[in-house]
């Protein structure tokens, strides 16, 4: 009877060990997938930022063309706001790049 109890204890111990090992392996695989997904998301965000920058510059060019044709008022106000935004964004970007160099 003792032999059966000891065998059951050994089998249970192996089961717990392999269960824990399998859980750790699954956790590592899940972490790897999450890291890859984050890399893809970072890449997509960078592409979207470039596209957004291009669109802002295109909009600025369109507004400039309207201004040259004599449209004033909101066109001039919009140009000033875009210029202010672009100037601030450029300075913020310079500040971020300087903090990485320190």
The per-residue pLDDT for 101 is: 44
Compute mean pLDDT per 10 residues along the chain, 102 residues long, and list them: 88 93 96 96 95 93 93 91 90 61 42
The per-residue pLDDT for 2 is: 85
The per-residue pLDDT for 96 is: 56
How far, CA to CA in Å, does 32 sit from each of 9, 27, 71, 89?
A: 35, 9, 55, 34
User: Are 86 and 56 a contacting pair, CB within 8 Å?
Assistant: yes
* Closest C-alpha among 63, 53, 64 to residue 93: 53
pTM of the model: 0.59
Q: How many CB atoms lie within 10 A of CB 24?
A: 10
The per-residue pLDDT for 45 is: 96
Q: 47-70 as b/e, with b when 16 or more CB fall inside 10 Å?
A: eeeeeeeeeeeeebeebeebeeee
């Amino acid at each position: 009877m003792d032999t059966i109890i000891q065998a059951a204890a050994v089998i249970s111990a192996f089961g717990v060990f392999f269960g824990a090992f399998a859980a750790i392996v699954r956790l590592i695989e899940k972490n790897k997938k999450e890291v890859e997904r984050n890399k893809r998301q970072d890449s997509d965000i960078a592409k979207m930022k470039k596209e957004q920058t291009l669109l802002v510059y295109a909009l600025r060019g369109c507004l400039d063309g309207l201004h040259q044709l004599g449209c004033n008022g909101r066109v001039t106000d919009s140009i000033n706001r875009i210029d202010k935004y672009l100037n601030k964004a450029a300075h913020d970007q310079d500040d971020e790049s300087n903090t990485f160099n320190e």
